A and B are shown apart, each in its own frame.
Chain A
Amino acid sequence: MSRITVYVPCDTSAVSLGADRVAERLARECRDQPVDIVRNGSRGAFWLEPLLEVEAGGQRIAYGPVRPDDIPRLLEEGMLSASTRSALCLGVVDEIPFLKQQQRLTFARQGVVDPVSVASYRAHGGFAGLERALGMSPRDIVEEVTESGLRGRGGAAFPTGIKWQTVLNAPGERKYIVCNADEGDSGTFADRMLMEGDPMSLIEGMIIAGLAVGATRGYIYLREEYPRAGRMLQQAIAAVREAGYLGERIYGSAHGFDMELRIGAGAYICGEETSLLESLEGKRGVVRAKPPLPAIAGLFGQPTVVNNVISLATVPVILARGAPFYRDFGMGRSRGTLAFQLAGNIARAGLVELAFGSTLRELLFDFGGGTRSGRPLRAVQVGGPLGAYLPEAHWDTPMDYEAFAAVGAMVGHGGIVAFDDTVNMREQARFAMAFCAEESCGKCTPCRIGSTRGVEVIDRIAAGSDVDANLVLLQELCEAMTDGSLCALGGMTPYPVLSALGHFAEDFGVRGESSGSRESA
């Protein structure tokens, strides 16, 4: 009898729902059978996790959500021969509508490969981009990335190729590639999923970035809250080094590149690139003034590329398939795909990679299936804690950087947090201020002090004390924070605050019309 491969995700979210216990039970029940258990990444359909897959005839049959106690019955019903008899059987995994309707480029290998196996990575197109890059000049690699239209996926959407060009042109005795893996925004988990499910894409992207700008050293700055991603990255880096893709002679070429994983220490601000560099240098994560840009004087004063996980992990597919292939996805100046993340009160939460241009409504309802609570959806925060809260009137805005900016919002990294009609938007605005106060690095006064004053003003509004005057004060305070802060924390905390106030004024005790009122939701 030939061996049977069963995939059980090792992804944090899958494990948080019991995937490790499922894998243990499966191993125990199958110890006398020719079964290999591979711990893959999650496909990103989290309401189906733990989701098992059995390989049969070149396809994978999915079962989920599986609890440890389901295993004996699943085996009885013929799971190992890919029987579709079980009530938990979901059919061919790629045919699950939530997955089938996606356009996966960056996440093409997610859930497919064994995350720490170079052989598995190569078998699914891994290192094709790097091998092509090794035959190209640095200028041509940068040109390819510029041509693809890729913009920073961490939220700021700065063109990646232009950043690389600046570092390539900058003189420096040593250059660095720094991966910002400090994914601190609520509603985002794409970086974590990729680092746990397909970490070699990120590693390959960093090596290509090194070739492109002439850097020989890379750092991944990973947040402390992601212990499992840290373990997966360590294993993957070791395996890639073992296979000869890292070290003094990358894959036998004359180029050298190596990298190291560094762990943050629970400071949200370290997701800001200059603060991250300070932290990597062993200091307090206090934001630096720009200029100089990190591309000119970054880590240890040297020219440094700082890119987000998804930006770097998208580079291999651009190099492997060419800039036009990638650029053909998307709309306007937003090219390629974005890994949208459906979170909060949503029935089918998970990862949805799509070309730019779909609408929030499609994501929330066609993919997300509405709220998990079954109550009406009322507010949606897009782009993390510094993103605007949007009422239903804006849910048809196309997901495109410029279209969102035009309605006073941001696509950012594509994190989407849904709230039902039990949400109190004044409390959400207060939280935005309180969070800013908690996480401010302290450098800029409007952020450090203004956020605390913001909490107090909102509390006075809540108490009904001189509401009109305090609302004016809140607006002025937000203006001071926007204009007087060096980075996005102080500068953008006003987005959730003012959008909550503007779209959901009734929660602040303000009478009058509002597009997001409970009646219309």
Chain B
Amino acid sequence: MIAPPLPIAEEVPFQAARPGAGAAHVFRQLLRRPNGLVGLAILAVFTVLAIAPELFVGPLETAVTATGPRLGPPSAEFPFGTDEVGRSVLNLTVHATRISMVIGLLATIITVGVGAVLGILSGYVGGRFDSTMMRIADFFLVMPTFVLAIILTAIIRDVLGTGSKEILGMRLSLLVIVVVIGLTSWSSTARIIRSQVLSLRERAFVDRARVVGASAGYIMRRHLLPNVMNLIVANAVLTFAGAVLTETTLSFVGLGDPFQPSWGQLLDAARSVGAPGLGKWWYFVPAGTAVVLVVFAFTLLGNALDEILNPRRRGRS
């Protein structure tokens, strides 16, 4: 369930990608579409929760500071009930937003960054570099990504150690998840961008740039990149949704970081105390709903962006 491939056929016949598609213009277009508007609204709410969870539910509760009953049902004091040590599930779910979103964001940056750079390089340089890169990409495409992610997580943790070391202010185990998601999902982005670059590089303006004296770097940066920007943006949004899901899944099978709550952690904790079997639905429904909502929002947004930026779909909706 990593980075669902874009609903864009390979080799989109090139039409003048709508130029002048400045950020402001795209934003206005987004607000005009129901799917874009709803997606943005849901994400805005979660972004605010991720930035300042304390404002809404106070500091993160721990087993020590917990005040509620064990696995208490929703009440006025604990709207989403409590967990097995008496922490408010609402508090945990809101605090988990940040970890899930940050992991999603970082994983997306890595995925799309690596995918875009390798896709453009591969498509433009061609030759042996291209075949090597694409064989590597194929490897990651055909591997069941989730199995690969589980194995990689275990290996990377073993190599780097699991202690409480921090890199870039993040606990190592979270970074591991980010790296794993990036490693397993860059390939589809790279493939999509490469295929577009393959058709772009045959276009007259690339030839002209070469004749005019532009270096390969300049052509890739200033001619090809702007032309595949629409693919990159739409892809990034869908990758984000995939990354949140992957993080949740990895945490759910116990490969997350127990010290920082994420939605996956919560679901894992709920499973380990047997909440579903005991009928304590309030323990896992909030986190599950949050995951579904974020993924849903990103999918809506991704589709809306695709409609706006993809010349093939433009004007059809």
A binds B: no
